[in-house]
Amino acid sequence: MAIEHVIDSLKQLQQLHQNLLAISKDKTDVLKKGDIDGLQALLKQERKYVKAINQVEQARIDATKDWAKAQGLDPEEATATDMLKHMQDTETKNTLEELTTALANHLLELKQQEALNQQLTQQSLQFVQLSLDMISPTIENFNYGKQQQTNKRSVFDSKA
């Protein structure tokens, strides 16, 4: 029964990560446009999905530990690879393998998309910093009055 919980959790994780990937792609478009309000809305949605992913992931870990205990394996060391090695039912084994592979692919694509978003954010921050540097006055503009002249002598003042 624990294997069904693992499979259900993997299906939920896959769906949640697909939705998170869609949000990440939307975030890329919003970053390109410079829409701060849109970005804040997407970040709020993203936090909800991350919270849900953490809950489903914990359920998957618990189900994996239950399966490992039932198989007489160390529950702290049980992984999807261990599950695949010890499974007898080929249909369930194939389903588990497909789900873990699909989830890994979604995670890789999400990681790449977030790396792109990070680069866009970094470039935006650099542009803002450059703009601020261009409009902010320099320290020389804060000095009022004449600048002091130090040891400026004319050629005519020197001894021949």
Q: Are 102 and 17 in contact (CB under 8 A)?
A: no
Q: Are 83 and 96 in contact (CB under 8 A)?
A: yes
Global model pTM greater than 0.85: no
Residue 38: what residue type?
Answer: G
For every one of its 160 residues, what pLDDT tens digit does the chain have, with 9 covering 90 and above? 678 999 999 999 999 999 999 999 999 999 889 888 999 999 999 999 999 999 999 999 999 999 888 888 888 888 888 888 888 888 988 999 999 999 999 999 999 999 999 999 898 888 888 888 788 766 555 555 555 555 555 555 555 5
Q: What is the pLDDT of residue 141?
A: 54
Q: Are 109 and 23 in contact (CB under 8 A)?
A: no
Q: What is the pLDDT of residue 145?
A: 55
Residue from 33, 23, 44, 26 nearest 124 by CA: 33
Q: What is the pLDDT of residue 94?
A: 92
Q: How far apart are CA 78 and CA 6, in angstroms?
A: 12
Q: What is the pLDDT of residue 138?
A: 60
Q: What is the pLDDT of residue 89?
A: 84
Q: What is the pLDDT of residue 147?
A: 57
Give me the residue label for tokens 């499974």: 87
Q: What is the pLDDT of residue 88?
A: 83
For every residue of 9-33, DSSP letters joined together read HHHHHHHHHHHHHHHHHHHHHHHHH
